[in-house]
């Protein structure tokens, strides 16, 4: 197999120079835009020259330089949620967007200042604090083939589960006590398999996979198994990540 040649980053982004990095170029542009915070290198070693990020206690902006065409691909995170994305060919626009987001702007103000930024209804709900309700509504109304509507309705009918944040992974229905990633894995998972419903723990992984709780013939009985194994501290949902919950539990 012939390896692909390394991209010529200096030709895509002359601001980097032959041996520079996006971190340095973006730091300069951020300063010229009037913002005063540190721009850091991307954590992944493969993005050492072409990736950068800005962090605060609850927010992160990540920027990556395209490898074929000049573009700056941006993601705007808050409390473990990718709130918005955008792509621009201008380093100055990328610097402005980074500064606006890291300064605490809401989604509407971010897009007003940087029209290339895009976001959706769910991230608006995260901003309003209604992400749990919005996610349940989305699953109840979706026509996606991987969503078992009978299972969703049986789960939604239980107040303890309706109060949690639902998400799908490989057709399995999961519940988490937080709205941001990484999610908690201390609530049983329901995985439809061959017409039955396998209920497992994800928190006690083994080399063979998740630990079994049991199987049920129908969604209602599967949901009853989940409810029977809920931990006492299962709610309410926290706007944040599993790491935030760990910190609050230790105080």
Query: Tens of pLDDT along 166-218?
Result: 999 888 999 999 999 999 989 999 999 888 999 999 866 556 667 889 999 99
Last residue of a domain, one of 119, 144, 162: 119
Q: Are residues 100 and 184 both part of a single domain?
A: no
Domain-embedded: residue 4: no
Count: domains in the chain: 2
**pLDDT of 10 higher than 80:** no
Q: Is residue 165 part of a domain?
A: yes
Average pLDDT over residues 71-81: 97
Number of H helices, E strands in the chain: 10, 11
| 195 shares a domain with 222 | yes
Same domain, 173 and 228: yes
Q: Are residues 135 and 242 in the same domain?
A: yes
3-state secondary structure of 4: coil
Instruction: Report the pLDDT value the prediction gives residue 104, as an integer from 0 to 100.
Output: 97
On whether residue 37 sits in a domain, the answer given is yes
Q: Are 79 and 180 in contact (CB under 8 A)?
A: yes
Cα atoms in the 13 Å half-sphere on the side-chain side of 117? 29
pTM: 0.89
Q: Which residue from 251, 191, 193 is spatially nearest to 226, judged by alpha carbons?
A: 191
Would you say residue 35 lies in a domain? yes
| Closest to 148 measured CA to CA, from 200, 204, 189 | 189
Which of residues 119, 154, 179 is at a domain's end?
Answer: 119
Q: Is the pLDDT of residue 249 over 60?
A: no
- Asked whether residue 131 falls in the same domain as residue 237, the answer is yes
pLDDT greater than 50 at residue 251: no
Q: Which of 36, 53, 35 is nearest to 44 (CA)?
A: 53
pLDDT score, position 7: 66
Q: What is the pLDDT of residues 100-159, one digit of tens each?
A: 999 999 999 999 999 999 999 999 999 999 999 999 999 999 999 889 999 999 999 999
Q: Is residue 2 part of a domain?
A: no
Q: Are residues 232 and 170 in the same domain?
A: yes
One domain, residues 159 and 208: yes
Q: Would you say residue 157 lies in a domain? A: yes
Residues 175 and 234 in one domain: yes
Based on the fold, state whether residues 14 and 103 are members of the same structural domain: yes
- Regarding whether 67 and 20 lie in a shared domain, the answer is yes
Domain extent for 228:
127-249
The strand pairing partners of 112, in sequence order, are none
152 and 221 in a common domain: yes
Picking from 90, 119, 148, the residue at the C-terminal end of a domain is: 119
Does residue 3 fall inside a structural domain? no
Q: Looking at the structure, do residues 154 and 234 belong to the same domain, yes or no?
A: yes
What pLDDT, in 10s, does the model give residues 25-63?
Answer: 999 999 999 999 999 999 888 888 899 999 998 999 999
pLDDT at 112: 98
- The pLDDT value given to residue 80: 96
Torsional sign, CA 101, 244, 224, 201:
positive
């Amino acid at each position: 197999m012939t390896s692909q040649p390394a991209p010529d980053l200096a030709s895509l982004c002359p601001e980097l120079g032959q041996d520079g990095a996006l971190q340095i170029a973006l730091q300069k542009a951020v300063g010229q835009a009037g913002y005063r915070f540190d721009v850091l290198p991307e954590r992944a070693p493969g993005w050492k020259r072409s990736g950068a990020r800005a962090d605060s206690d609850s927010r992160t902006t990540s920027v990556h330089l395209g490898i074929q065409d000049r573009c700056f691909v941006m993601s705007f995170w808050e409390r473990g949620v990718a709130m918005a994305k955008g792509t621009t060919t201008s380093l100055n626009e990328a610097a402005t967007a980074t500064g606006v987001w890291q300064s605490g702007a809401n989604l509407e103000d971010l897009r007003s200042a940087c029209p290339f930024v895009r976001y959706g209804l769910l991230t608006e709900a995260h901003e309003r604090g209604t992400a749990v309700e919005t996610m349940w509504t989305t699953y109840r109304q979706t026509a996606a083939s991987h969503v078992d509507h009978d299972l969703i309705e049986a789960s939604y009918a239980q107040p303890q589960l309706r109060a949690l944040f639902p998400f799908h992974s490989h057709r399995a229905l999961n519940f988490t006590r937080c709205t941001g990633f990484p999610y908690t894995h201390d609530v049983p998972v329901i995985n439809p398999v061959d017409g039955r419903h396998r209920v497992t723990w994800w928190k006690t992984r083994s080399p063979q996979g998740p630990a079994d709780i049991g199987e049920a013939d129908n969604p209602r009985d599967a949901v009853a198994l989940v409810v029977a194994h809920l931990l006492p501290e299962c709610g309410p949902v926290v706007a944040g990540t599993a790491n935030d919950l760990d910190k609050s539990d230790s105080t």
